[in-house]
Amino acid sequence: MTVTDLVSYEDALDTYDPVMGLEVHVELGTKTKMFCGCSTTLGAEPNSQTCPTCLGMPGSLPVVNAIGVESAIKIGLALNCTIAEWCRFARKNYFYPDMPKNFQTSQYDEPIAFDGYLDVQLEDGEVFRVHIERAHMEEDTGKSTHVGGATGRIQGARHSLLDYNRAGIPLIEIVTKPIEGAGERAPEVAKAYVAELRELIKALDVSEARMEQGQMRCDVNLSLRPKGTEKFGTRSETKNVNSLRSVERAARFEIQRHAAVLSSGGTIIQETRHFHEEDGSTTSGRIKEEAEDYRYFPEPDLVPVAPSREWVEELRAVLPELPRVRRNRLREEWGISEHDMQSILNAGAVDLITATVEAGADSAAARKWWMGELARRANEDGVELAALPITPEQVARVTALVADGSLNDKLARQTIEGVLAGEGDPDTVVEKRGLKVVSDEGALGTAVDEAIAANAAIADKIRGGKVAAAGALVGAVMKATRGQADAARVRELILERLGAKE
Amino acid sequence: MADLIKLTAAEIAAKIAAGELTAVEVTEAHLARIEAVDEKVNAFLHIDREGALAQARAVDEKKARGEKLGPLAGVPLALKDIFTTEGIPTTVGSKILEGWIPPYDATLTKKLKAADVVILGKTNMDEFAMGSSTENSAYGPTGNPWDLTKIPGGSGGGSSAALASFQAPLAIGTDTGGSIRQPAAVTGTVGVKPTYGGVSRYGMVAFSSSLDQGGPCARTVLDAALLHEVIAGHDPLDSTSIDAPVPPVVEAARNGSVEGMRVGVVKQFRGEGYQAGVIQRFDESVALMKELGAEIVELDCPSFDLALSAYYLIAPSECSSNLARFDAMRYGLRVGDDGTKSAEEVTALTREAGFGPEVKRRIMLGTYALSSGYYDAYYGSAQKVRTLITRDFEKAFEQVDVIVSPTTPTTAFPIGERADDPMAMYLADLCTIPTNLAGNAAMSLPCGLAPEDGLPVGLQIIAPAMADDRLYKVGAAVEAAFTAKWGHPLLEEAPAL
């Protein structure tokens, strides 16, 4: 990898003002593809979910998926967009082997939704309005796997494998207007926007929007202009930035890189760039010397989409509570700070915690597990929280077992470990691993007596009023019971036996 | 069984239903005819002997079980090689699809099978339906049964030649700019381009999606109507297919009349480039309709003069996109895949080797017309002309019930004559193209032989969209009057092969 010259973030922002454009592709969660009846389930045998239409066979024709249109309208409405009364699909013509027809059925100058905005909340509670240019419907391409090259890219590959299962899966592309005025907070705005959009998509129930599975993909377009000027600089387009953290890092890196180039008198080349998760850098992709000519024209195989106003209003009337409104409500209910709520949002834990609370857990306990132990595990495994093999109901059951004294913290962690390892639900894990707190007063009493006898000097100190020393005896008892005792009860028993008081 | 092959589809179906003929007999007679003459004519690219006989046997078994047979059950048909047929090659007249066996049937193919029509095989055509002579087929030209040195029209020259040489009583064509009607005209047969959206395009290999329309070809107006009824109707797999009842074409064909009808004659459809004998036969047809009680109305449709230019922007534009899929990745020809070349190089080599000159010419024209900076001037302007043509038709149909014209300005020209002159070739579609641009319906039927060369002349009848039945009502009346006048169907005058 080439070393890229960077200037410090602070220096970059002293001189330049960043302008961003974010393009997000969302794979809809429809059962069938956008223009044919093939299944959209992920992970099937390559090319098993294909038909003449999504393979672009001669003679095949597309038919629009009505749920796809409905989802696009819902997204448009939730983004405060105008919904077109009449719009068409267009063909975007370019050759690539993973695109069966060598044109993508998309929308061009007649998107289904346009001119909207999304308010996003930053970590300090400030609300930033991101203006939406358009949201349009299109189809996904197939997937190329390049074999034999070092990087998995086509350069140096011996051959490529093509899987068309993804070809034709509905996509909604959401494009912002240029985001100006965010200053040094531009990367944070980018991340908060994508996070908010993801929540919105999930709340609308149109996609699971799992970024790590490519169900939501983000391109970060960025340019700098000298502070105080109006004219936009030349932009770079960083493609497929596929996590919230990466969106922020990519924006930050590009600000530093652009500033370095511009400060040394260089010019930014309009190009696409690849983002590298390992070190947060970007490298040059394809240079766009002249705008690629996609020869768009209205798709003659499809009739125009003309959603009736009645239908649009019906959909508007049943839009769910918007995520930001809902989060503010939850934040108050849970009694937590803006910052904590933002962390929960970034971790993708809002729904999980809500569901855990709905399953009977205390909100503090639910937050503790999802944002602590489980977030750590998800991070280690490189998956999203929601992808962990544990349900909110199971987490709620663990918190209930802690609340009634059946488990202590340590045992609860082991229980969760067991659930994640596929050993069954919490009660089964507790049973199988024998994790129940030792609450048999007789057995506990014996262990306490033995600990006192083995640590006479410490026991004397406690008798003499040094209550703080009890910790050592508690530790000894916990060790003897392999952690399965209720530490608070052990402490009580020790103090009782030694006639000491807190 | 010389007489059997001269029967009309309606007659064959009636005889099979009455037990006077078996479907197998009929099929065998036509297969024998193909065997005897098609080496000379070259109407078929693929003959499905086994499939045809199996279908025929199924019809005979149905009959034996006493099941009710459809109106075309057991009637043989020649299918243009542009419709997909599961398990049977479909080449579209192109090398690029040589050897491709489609995994699915076109909706039209399914409808034919469901109606117990016997598909004999797939017919020759100009590559991707681009042409007016069938000379652009990658598999050699087809001869006109009236004179084998002449073209049978195009792109559906295989279908028209199969009818005119009695290799099949029914055929299917597709019409993007005249590819059903012009071949019908120059072979003395009947061809109908239904209203756009009347017949499903699902499984019909696309040339120009907004213009392409499949339709029936036959030797009589009634046969065309019977076939029309079988293949037409809404198809949920084709978004542009019309969700409305099929116009009552068979009823119209059985009740031919022009009495009291207003028949329009467009002044733009004559003049320079029209053969004298064609104009003569056309004028006689108009006089005949007047005799039969029609009122003749002169029409002015100025936008029709722009139709050819608009067509040669829209059709190539759509074709440049539709034909992009032929990239050697998933099906068809693959050239240069020797392990040293990139996918891009293999695609380029395959398209270079697989497409003929006319196809390449149109892909290039279309690519250029859609390019940014040129789009408005070319594709955009052509769409405006299209709107004007549609309006001219709308205005015309306020004054008349149908419009008539020569189908094509000349009779069949010699094979090779226009092969190197695309502009001359394009003129063959002068009178047929406006209908494709507007999306309404039209028919060509024989109106005599041109005195100077003794070759068939076609009369075109044009009706408003979804009024396809008017074509048959007028066509049946004209056909009956001419047959009475000539004393026999025109095709009886064709030389024996």
Secondary structure (H, E, C), A97-159: CCCCCCEEEECCCCCCEEEEEEEEECCCCCEEEEEEEEEEEEECCCEEEEECCCCCCCCCCCE
Instruction: Kindly list the distances between the CA atom of residue B56 and the CA atoms of A288, A333, B112, B160, in Å, as whole numbers in the listed order.
Output: 60, 76, 13, 23
Q: What is the CA radius of gyration of chain A?
A: 28
In angstroms, the separation between the Cα of residue B17 and the nearest Cα of chain A is 34
Distance of alpha carbon A348 from alpha carbon A342, whole angstroms: 10
Least Cα distance to B132 among B424, B406, B405, B366 occurs for B424
Best of A54, A95, A290 to mutate (most B CBs within 10 Å, chain B)? A95
Does A398 lie in the same domain as A446? no
Contact B443, B461 (CB under 8 A): yes
Residue A493 — very low, low, confident or very high, per pLDDT cuts 50/70/90? confident
* A-B contacts (CB, under 8 Å): 102
In angstroms, the separation between the Cα of residue A251 and the nearest Cα of chain B is 31
Residue A288 — very low, low, confident or very high, per pLDDT cuts 50/70/90? low
Q: Is B106 on the interface with A (CB under 8 A)?
A: yes
Does B218 lie in the same domain as B311? no
Mark yes or no for CB contact A59/B202 under 8 Å: yes
Of A37 and A406, more confident:
A37
SS (H, E, C) A284-353: EEEECCCCCCCCCEECCCCCCECCCHHHHHHHHHCCCCCHHHHHHHHHHHHCCCHHHHHHHHHCCCHHHH
Q: Is B316 on the interface with A (CB under 8 A)?
A: no
Q: Is B176 on the interface with A (CB under 8 A)?
A: no
Does B335 lie in the same domain as B290? no
Does B136 lie in the same domain as B228? yes
Instruction: Kindly list the distances between the CA atom of residue B350 and the CA atoms of B331, B356, B364, B461, in Å, as whole numbers in the listed order.
Output: 11, 11, 16, 42
Structural domain includes residue A258: no
Give the pLDDT of residue A280: 92
Mark yes or no for CB contact A303/B239 under 8 Å: yes
Does B150 lie in the same domain as B161? yes
Does B263 lie in the same domain as B336? no
Structural domain includes residue B391: no
End-to-end CA, chain B: 15
pLDDT at A136 over 60: yes
Structural domain includes residue A239: no
pLDDT at A404 over 90: no
Does A356 lie in the same domain as A214? no
DSSP-derived 3-state class of residue A269: coil
Does B375 lie in the same domain as B259? no
Give Dmax (Cα) for chain B: 73
Domain count, chain A: 3
* Strands B170-174 and B76-80, sheet pairing: parallel
Contact A322, A78 (CB under 8 A): yes
- Mean pLDDT across chain B, nearest whole number? 97
DSSP string, B176-208: SSSTTHHHHHHHT-EEEEPPTTSB--TTBPPSS
Least Cα distance to B152 among B191, B186, B192 occurs for B186
Structural domain includes residue A478: yes
Give the pLDDT of residue A1: 41
Least Cα distance to B392 among B487, B491, B278, B304 occurs for B304
Boundaries of domain holding A386 = 347-433
Does A304 lie in the same domain as A191? yes
pLDDT at B254 over 90: yes
Give the pLDDT of residue A289: 57
In angstroms, the separation between the Cα of residue B276 and the nearest Cα of chain A is 39
pLDDT digit string (tens) for B438-489?
999 999 999 999 999 999 999 999 999 999 999 999 999 999 999 999 999 9
Structural domain includes residue B393: no
A498: part of which helix (H) or strand (E)?
helix A487-498
Q: Which two tokens stand for residue B5?
A: 């092959």
**From the list B100, B210, B324, which residue is nearest A101 (CB)?**
B324
Structural domain includes residue A322: no
Structural domain includes residue B392: no
Structural domain includes residue A228: no
Q: Which long-range contacts (CB under 8 A, 24 or more apart) does A343-348 make?
A: A343/A371, A344/A370, A344/A371, A345/A195, A345/A196, A345/A199, A346/A191, A346/A195, A346/A244, A347/A371, A347/A375, A347/A385, A348/A198, A348/A384, A348/A385, A348/A386
Does A494 lie in the same domain as A377? no
Among B333, B357, B386, identify where a domain stops: B386
Contacts of B370 in chain A (CB under 8 A): 93, 295-297
Give the pLDDT of residue A492: 83
β-sheet bridge partners, residue A6: none
Among A433, A449, A479, identify where a domain stops: A433
B155: cis peptide before it, omega within 30°?
A: yes
Give the pLDDT of residue B59: 98
Contacts of A68 in chain B (CB under 8 A): none
Among A433, A459, A484, identify where a domain stops: A433
Q: Is B235 on the interface with A (CB under 8 A)?
A: no
pLDDT digit string (tens) for A433-481?
888 776 667 778 888 888 888 888 888 888 888 888 888 888 888 888 8
* Strands A103-106 and A113-121, sheet pairing: unpaired
Structural domain includes residue B474: yes
SS (H, E, C) A373-386: HHHHHHHHHCCCHH
Instruction: Kindly list the distances between the CA atom of residue A267 and the CA atoms of A14, A233, A297, B408, in Å, as whole numbers in the listed order.
Output: 19, 9, 34, 61
Q: Is A59 on the interface with B (CB under 8 A)?
A: yes
Mark yes or no for CB contact A102/B103 under 8 Å: no
Among A403, A433, A463, identify where a domain stops: A433
Q: Is A61 on the interface with B (CB under 8 A)?
A: yes
Mark yes or no for CB contact B240/A301 under 8 Å: yes
For residue B340, give the chain A residue with the closest CA.
A158
Does B190 lie in the same domain as B116? yes
Does B115 lie in the same domain as B262? yes
Instruction: Kindly list the distances between the CA atom of residue B175 and the CA atoms of B84, B115, B315, in Å, as whole numbers in the listed order.
Output: 16, 23, 12
Instruction: Kindly list the distances between the CA atom of residue A82 and the CA atoms of A75, B91, B368, in Å, as whole numbers in the listed order.
Output: 11, 46, 34
Q: Is B101 on the interface with A (CB under 8 A)?
A: no
Mark yes or no for CB contact B330/A295 under 8 Å: no
SS (H, E, C) A417-462: HHHHCCCCCHHHHHHHHCCCCECCHHHHHHHHHHHHHHCHHHHHHH
Boundaries of domain holding B436 = 4-301+404-493
Mark yes or no for CB contact A100/B237 under 8 Å: no
CA trace torsion B59, B62, B67, B71 (10° rounding):
0
Does A450 lie in the same domain as A397? no
Q: Is A291 on the interface with B (CB under 8 A)?
A: yes
pLDDT digit string (tens) for A224-262?
999 999 999 999 999 999 899 999 999 999 999 999 999
* Strands A216-226 and A236-241, sheet pairing: antiparallel
pLDDT digit string (tens) for B131-161?
999 999 999 999 999 999 999 999 999 999 9
Best of B210, B237, B384 to mutate (most A CBs within 10 Å, chain A)? B237
Among B351, B386, B421, identify where a domain stops: B386
**From the list A64, A295, A301, which residue is nearest B367 (CB)?**
A295
Q: How many angstroms from the chain centroid is the CA of residue B88?
A: 21
Edge-first strand order for the sheet with B456-463 is: B44-47, B118-123, B76-80, B170-174, B214-218, B190-193, B441-449, B456-463, B402-406, B262-266, B295-299
Structural domain includes residue B297: yes
**From the list B106, B239, B370, which residue is nearest A59 (CB)?**
B106
* Exposure of A136 in the CB half-sphere (CA atoms within 13 A): 21
Q: Mean pLDDT over residues B167-191, rounded?
A: 98
Give the pLDDT of residue B353: 98
Does B435 lie in the same domain as B375? no
Does B155 lie in the same domain as B61? yes
Q: Is B370 on the interface with A (CB under 8 A)?
A: yes
Least Cα distance to A371 among A391, A403, A396, A346 occurs for A346
Q: Is A293 on the interface with B (CB under 8 A)?
A: yes
Domain count, chain B: 2
Does A420 lie in the same domain as A301? no
Q: Is B381 on the interface with A (CB under 8 A)?
A: no
In angstroms, the separation between the Cα of residue A237 and the nearest Cα of chain B is 22
Backbone angles phi, psi at B120, to 5 degrees: -75, -35
In angstroms, the separation between the Cα of residue A413 and the nearest Cα of chain B is 52
Structural domain includes residue B225: yes
Distance of alpha carbon A106 from alpha carbon B221, whole angstroms: 43
**CATH number, domain at B456?**
3.90.1300.10
Contact B88, B101 (CB under 8 A): yes
Distance of alpha carbon B270 from alpha carbon B298, whole angstroms: 12
Q: Mean pLDDT over residues A15-23, rounded?
A: 97
Structural domain includes residue A75: yes
Q: Is B81 on the interface with A (CB under 8 A)?
A: no
Distance of alpha carbon B194 from alpha carbon B246, whole angstroms: 10
Does A179 lie in the same domain as A217? yes
β-sheet bridge partners, residue A429: none
Structural domain includes residue B395: no
Contacts of A100 in chain B (CB under 8 A): 325, 330
Backbone angles phi, psi at A8, to 5 degrees: -65, 150
pLDDT at A167 over 80: yes
Give the pLDDT of residue A500: 80
Among B328, B354, B386, identify where a domain stops: B386
Contact A141, A98 (CB under 8 A): yes
Structural domain includes residue A264: no
pLDDT at A2 over 70: no
End-to-end CA, chain A: 62
Q: Sign (positive/negative) of CA torsion B80, B19, B2, B411? A: negative
Distance of alpha carbon B495 from alpha carbon A413, whole angstroms: 96
Distance of alpha carbon B69 from alpha carbon B21, whole angstroms: 14
Distance of alpha carbon B190 from alpha carbon B221, whole angstroms: 6
Catalytic residues of B: 80, 155, 179
**From the list B83, B204, B324, which residue is nearest A102 (CB)?**
B324
Does A494 lie in the same domain as A408? no
Say which residues have a Cβ less than 8 Å from residue B377's Cβ, sequence separation at least 6. Answer: none
Which of A332-346, A483-497, B311-325, B473-487 is predicted least confidently? A483-497
Distance of alpha carbon B190 from alpha carbon B183, whole angstroms: 9
Does A379 lie in the same domain as A300? no
**What ipTM is given for this predicted complex?**
0.96
Instruction: Kindly list the distances between the CA atom of residue A119 and the CA atoms of A83, A132, A133, A165, A324, in Å, as whole numbers in the listed order.
Output: 19, 10, 14, 35, 8
Structural domain includes residue B399: no
Contacts of A293 in chain B (CB under 8 A): 371-372
Best of B100, B200, B329, B372 to mutate (most A CBs within 10 Å, chain A)? B329
Backbone angles phi, psi at B465, to 5 degrees: -55, 140
Edge-first strand order for the sheet with A236-241 is: A82-83, A113-121, A127-139, A170-176, A16-27, A216-226, A236-241, A271-276, A281-287
Does B173 lie in the same domain as B85? yes
Q: What percent of chain A stands above pLDDT 70? A: 97
Does A217 lie in the same domain as A118? yes
Does A181 lie in the same domain as A71? yes
Contacts of A59 in chain B (CB under 8 A): 83-84, 90, 102, 106, 201-206
pLDDT digit string (tens) for B344-392?
999 999 999 999 999 999 999 999 999 989 999 999 999 999 999 999 9
Give the pLDDT of residue A439: 63
Say which residues have a Cβ less than 8 Å from residue A3's Cβ, sequence separation at least 6. Answer: none
pLDDT at A286 over 90: no
Mark yes or no for CB contact B372/A64 under 8 Å: no
**From the list A61, A100, A295, which residue is nearest B239 (CB)?**
A61
Does A419 lie in the same domain as A476? no
Contacts of B204 in chain A (CB under 8 A): 59
